[in-house]
């Protein structure tokens, strides 16, 4: 029909981006999930459709922090998530709990970790499960995916009013929408967890900032407007 279509790049299947770069060159329009992805596929100025959430489904828990303090995350458990770094020094403060929602290839290596394993959770239950946490912890290792993309589950935690403690990868802003530490450093993971465990005011500030950022920047109602703008443009083929 004379049109090659729109290609949306959500990440890298092969890790190095070769597949995505080839597909992007054959497309009329290219959208990317993040600026790092756009640069890797050779379209640094491509419009962005970042990971987002339906902010209305997630509500802050409110009330006092848990006793004991509950850290946790929900993820496809792989070594890339860096959870072995958290396990190495757990708990960072006496009594702290780490609640892990999810399954995956990396789960076997963590079975001896002092974690509270909850298994796979239906997506419909995720807002309630995230709201049970006092801190969302994700010590991801550096890699093509983690370096270039702000992950969706931390964004869901932010929408639920949970402060995020994460590796200095992706799009979080240290001290504003998250508390960051150097990727791959187990001591840095423990130090960051101790800082948040001991400072309830800091946790509350990060949580409020993060929720406001999600509402203004990462709610699906706002993100989908990008598609309206893209589809309103004439196709290069149609322009002849």
| pTM (global) more than 0.85 | yes
Per-position pLDDT tens, the chain of length 240: 345 588 898 877 766 778 888 889 988 889 988 888 888 889 999 988 888 999 999 988 877 676 789 999 999 999 989 999 999 989 999 999 999 999 999 999 999 999 999 999 998 999 999 999 999 999 999 876 777 677 889 999 999 999 999 999 866 677 788 999 999 999 999 999 999 999 999 999 999 999 999 999 999 988 888 788 777 766 554 433
Written as six digits, the tokens of 91 are 């708990």
In whole angstroms, what is the distance from residue 27 CA to residue 63 CA? 50
Distance between CA atoms of residues 47 and 213, nearest Å: 20
CA quadruple 126, 129, 134, 135: dihedral positive or negative? negative
Distance of CA 92 to the CA centre of its chain: 23
| Distance between CA atoms of residues 65 and 119, nearest Å | 23
Q: What is the pLDDT of residue 39?
A: 87
Backbone angles phi, psi at 77, to 5 degrees: -75, 110
What confidence score (pLDDT) does residue 240 get? 39
């Amino acid at each position: 029909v004379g049109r090659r279509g729109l290609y949306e790049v959500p990440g890298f299947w092969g890790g190095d981006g070769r597949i995505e770069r080839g597909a992007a060159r054959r497309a009329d329009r290219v959208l990317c999930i993040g600026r790092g992805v756009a640069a890797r596929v050779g379209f640094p100025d491509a419009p962005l459709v970042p990971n987002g959430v339906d902010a209305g489904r997630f509500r802050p828990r409110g009330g006092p922090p848990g006793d004991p303090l509950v850290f946790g995350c929900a993820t496809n458990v792989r070594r890339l998530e860096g959870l072995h770094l958290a396990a190495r020094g757990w708990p960072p403060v006496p009594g702290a709990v780490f609640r892990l929602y999810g399954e995956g290839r990396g789960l076997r290596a963590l079975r001896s970790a002092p974690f509270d394993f909850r298994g796979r959770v239906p997506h419909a239950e995720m807002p309630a499960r995230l709201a049970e946490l006092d801190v969302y912890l994700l010590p991801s290792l550096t890699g093509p995916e983690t370096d270039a993309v702000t992950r969706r589950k931390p964004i869901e935690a932010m929408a639920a009013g949970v402060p995020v403690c994460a590796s200095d990868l992706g799009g979080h802003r240290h001290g504003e929408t998250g508390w960051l530490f150097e990727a791959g450093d187990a001591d840095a993971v423990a130090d960051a967890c101790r800082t948040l465990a001991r400072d309830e005011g800091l946790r509350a500030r990060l949580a409020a900032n993060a929720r406001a950022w999600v509402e203004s920047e990462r709610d699906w109602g706002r993100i989908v407007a990008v598609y309206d703008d893209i589809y309103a443009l004439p196709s290069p083929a149609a322009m002849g």
